[in-house]
Amino acid sequence: MTEHYLELQDIDQARSMGLRPPEWARLLAVLGRRPNLTELGMFAVMWSEHCSYKHSKTALRQFPTGGPQVLQGPGENAGVVDIGDGQAVVFKIESHNHPSAIEPYQGAATGVGGIVRDVFTMGARPIALLNSLRFGDLSSPKQRYLFAGVVAGIAGYGNCLGIPTVGGEVYFNDSYTNNCLVNAMCVGLIDHDKLTRGRAQGLGSRLILIGARTGRDGIHGATFASEALGEHSVARRPAVQVGDPFMEKLLLEACLELIEAKSILGMQDLGAAGLTSASSEMAARAGSGVELDVALVPCREKSMNPYEIMLSESQERMLLAVEPEQVPLVLATCAKWGLTGTDIGQVTADGMVKVLFNGMVVAEVPARPLASEGPVYHPLAAEPPWQALVTSLNLAAIPVPEDLTAVLGRLLASPNIAGKEWVYRQYDHSVRGDTVTLPGSDAAVLRIKGTKKGLAMSVDCNSRYTYLDPYRGGAIAVAEAARNVACSGAKPLAITNCLNFGSPERPEIYYQLTRAIAGMAAACEALGTPVTGGNVSLYNETAGQAVFPTPTVGMVGLLADVERRVTTAFKQEGDVICLLGSTLEELGGSEYLKVVHNLERGLPPTLDLAAERRLQSLLVALAEGALLSSAHDCAEGGLAVAVAESAIQGGLGVSIDLSPLASMRKDALLFGESQSRVVVSLAPTHFSAVEMLAGAMGVPFVCLGRVEGDVLCLGQGQETIIRADVASLAELWRGAIACHMSP
């Protein structure tokens, strides 16, 4: 009798694994025969959206990916960017949305595990983690459960690994009620000569599987991640993997030790689609083939069959291509770290992924069609019918509140603006002793020991903007991430991104996707920050309700001298407060409209990319000249919130006169979110130098007031508009999230 996993399959079985009829036809054409169950399973996961990018590939081609600083662009496990002195930074962001919605702790934890592996697979030492999290309204117990679970999961995994979690963002919006977003970013550091790629190189090289044993967990996880969530999704809990950060720590140290010893030809982690993707991608990239006997794979459970072994998404595993003479050293290093290392096969020349089970062939499929020549779709894009409606905004009908001090208080206590200490105090952000700007500033900064250099990093996306105008929102996401990095004094280098959208098969969603990518691409081009890789997470929707389009941007920048870094907090009484950039009457898409008027509409603020670039160059020049005491980007909540945050963090008051700014509605003046603006403070002795430099570089510059006392006072001429104790504002801002979480 034929074993179950060898039985030839039909179109119904293909459909049950998520393949569509044309894909089944394509599969028959590739193989020239019907697949058996194991082969069908392999194609189903590799041709899922999660692994093949079949609905997003075309749109992604818009991204600029080249530049003198880029050592490795998209296509590998992570992007690599040169930072001089033979060093490079390796980084990537990835989603773990679907699993986190079902099992928040493990979903988020394994998201961290996966992205960390992507970085050390390249041979880099992971030095920092960041994340971007989105949930529904915190007044709901379910949302608090998800939020608390995700934060605990990230903490549980990252803290144990000893990689500091140094930054991120958290947003709350009803569009995420049924589909939370959990994006994790990892940044690593490497010497150029250690760079390792996911390639099955060298005919006859041995394939060594190391790390955790293989279990039945996560089978078809990639397929699950490529469908919308629904009532049945809870039944998908077995598709969520369970993380073991201790195992990952051992794996990390063992792999880096092997890289140091130059014992590895190629390396690839087993993430989505497990051994299937690792083996076929390594072969496809190298133009080689692989032959594995999966009966040799150490399993956690008895009698696992080849189908299960090839599809398992058990965490903390790595596949290495190793020259035969290096095998003993590799196995000895595994043993030192208490890891199982197993020689499961070899690199061949025939371009095939040949899977054996106790010597018998159980699957034989060509690597390239499986790994990189999957179906590609060109979905229909159509502007959503509601788009024009939500962008229309009649400001005249919206009254300006009387008590603007109270409005500032409400904004500071809005969970989207409030301090995120409740989150980041659960993350070890100072382990490894390199975090020199802690969470809470616009960008985190790490020093690079043995050099004067520093790395700045930030994760950003205002998805309300993208919802209202995908193009502009996409561009702003890139611009803001770069601006945050520039505020720290660093020159933005390159981005990674995580595109979280609904189902691309709906024309309105595909419209959002292509327009957002186009906007991001334009900003990347203008700001000189190419895309080095990333991840696409589609089908973030439930019952036809998609999340706000959320193209999260992870940006990395370089400080030539880390001692010249700049932070958010006001530092010194008597310092002059100035605003860089122009303030327009722009309230569309603002947090103010949402919090005070319960409106999510209007056009998001305009973005002039040339002005943005000038602003960022100025920020870097000002930092290099050590001319600034602080710098803080005006984002959600506008100028008033930016000033308040710098005051709160510095524990200092301010006295500001807004008269030099253009006259407009007071709410727009205070809380409008005009782009390309930064609040800076500086010693009076530096004033003329800063003014001159701003003028020379073509950046609008106005002096607004001074740092003084312990009261925040914003006025216009003789009129006081906002007046509050900084201490009481601080209490609102610091306490808001904790208050929600322990009602």
Partner 1 sequence: MRFGVVVFPGSNCDVDCHHAAGTVFGQKAEYVWHEERDLSRFDCIILPGGFSYGDYLRAGALARFSPVMGAVVEEAGRGKLVLGICNGWQILLEAGLLPGAMLKNNHLQFRCETRYVRLENSNTPFTCTGHDGQVLSLPIAHAEGNYFIDQVGLKDLEAQRQIVFRYADSRGQVSREANPNGSLGGIAGIINKAGNVLGMMPHPERATEEILGGTDGRLIFSSILQWWGGQ
Applying CB under 8 A, the residues found at the interface with partner 1 are: 152, 155-156, 159-162, 244-247, 249-250, 337-338, 424-433, 435-436, 438, 447, 449, 562-563
Shorter beta-carbon distance to partner 1: residue 155 or 531: 155
- For residue 220, what are the CA distances in angstroms to 113, 276, 698? 18, 11, 54
> Cα(first)–Cα(last) distance of the chain, in Å?
62
Helix 245-260 to helix 141-161 angle (10° resolution) is 40
498 class by beta-carbon count within 10 Å (0-12 exposed, 13-18 middle, 19+ buried): buried
Amino acid at 705: G
Residue nearer to partner 1 on the CB measure, 327 or 438:
438
Nearest distance, CB of residue 132 and partner 1, angstroms: 20
Least Å from the CB of residue 250 to partner 1: 6
> What DSSP designation does 336 have?
H
SS3 sequence of 672-713: CCCCCCEEEEECHHHHHHHHHHHHHCCCCEEEEEEECCCEEE
Residue type at 250 in one-letter notation? L
**Nearest to 714, CA basis, from 685, 671, 650:** 671
| Closer residue to partner 1, CB minimum distance, 16 or 430 | 430
> Smallest gap, in angstroms, from Cβ of residue 193 to partner 1?
21
Cβ proximity to partner 1, 164 vs 638, nearer residue:
164
If phi > 0 it is left, if psi is from -120 to 50 it is alpha, else beta; for residue 267 that is beta
Q: Which is nearer to partner 1, 10 or 563 (CB)?
A: 563
- Looking at the DSSP bridge assignments, the partners of residue 459 are 554
Rounded-to-integer distance, Cα 31 and Cα 41, Å: 14
**Is residue 544 left, alpha or beta, with left meaning phi > 0 and alpha meaning psi from -120 to 50?**
left
Residues 667 and 685: their CA atoms lie apart, in Å, by 33
Identify whether the C-beta of residue 729 lies closer than 8 Å to the C-beta of residue 712.
yes
The nearer residue to partner 1, 688 or 742, going by C-beta atoms, is 742
Minimum CB distance to partner 1 smaller for 242 or for 702: 242
Percent of the chain as helix, strand, coil, to the nearest 5: 40, 25, 35
The least distance separating partner 1 from the CB of residue 445, rounded to whole angstroms, comes to 10
Token pair for residue 652?
Answer: 């200092």
The least distance separating partner 1 from the CB of residue 147, rounded to whole angstroms, comes to 13
Q: Please report how close the Cβ of residue 738 comes to partner 1 at its closest, in angstroms.
A: 11
Task: Return all residues near 674 (Cβ < 8 A) that are at least 6 apart.
Answer: 581, 582, 583, 584, 586, 605, 606, 634, 638
Q: Where are the beta strands (DSSP E) in 475-611?
A: 491-500, 531-537, 541-542, 545-546, 550-559, 576-580
Nearest to 500 by CA among 173, 56, 105: 56
Asked if 51 and 277 touch (Cβ cutoff 8 Å), the reply is yes
| Closer of 151 and 408 to partner 1 (Cβ) | 151
Which is nearer to partner 1, 155 or 726 (by Cβ)?
A: 155
Residues 677, 620 contacting (CB under 8 angstroms)? no
User: And the tokens for 157?
Assistant: 């995994």
- Pick 159 or 537: Cβ nearer partner 1: 159
- Minimum separation from the CB atom of position 216 to partner 1 (A): 21
Looking at residue 36, what DSSP letter applies? B
Q: Could you tell me the two tokens for 724? A: 């509050």
Closest separation in Å from C-beta 570 to partner 1:
17
Least CB distance to partner 1 at residue 187 (A): 17
Residue spans of alpha helices (H) in 17-103: 21-31, 37-46, 49-52, 57-60, 97-102
Nearer to partner 1, 262 or 449 (CB): 449
For residue 464, the one-letter residue type is R
Per the listing, tokens 């003014």 go with 691
Cβ proximity of 473 and 604 under 8 Å: yes
Nearest distance from C-beta of residue 211 to partner 1, angstroms: 13
Structure-token pair, residue 260: 């140091």
Considering the complex, state which of residue 242 and residue 683 has its C-beta at the smaller distance from partner 1: 242
Rounded to 5°, angle at Cα 496 from 495 and 500 = 130
Enzyme catalytic residues = 50, 96
Residue 397, Cβ neighbours under 10 Å: how many? 7
Question: Could you count the other beta carbons within 10 Å of the beta carbon of residue 562?
Answer: 23
Helix (H) or strand (E) holding 590: none
Q: Residue 60 or residue 251: which is nearer to partner 1 going by CB?
A: 251
Question: Shortest approach of partner 1 to residue 96 CB, angstroms?
Answer: 20
CA 310 to chain centre: 28
- Contact (CB, 8 A) for 152 and 105: yes
**In sequence order, which residues have a C-beta less than 8 Å from that of residue 179 and are 6 or more positions away?**
97, 101, 229, 540, 541, 542, 546, 547
Residue 14: CB minimum distance to partner 1, A: 41
CB of 673 to partner 1, least distance (A): 31
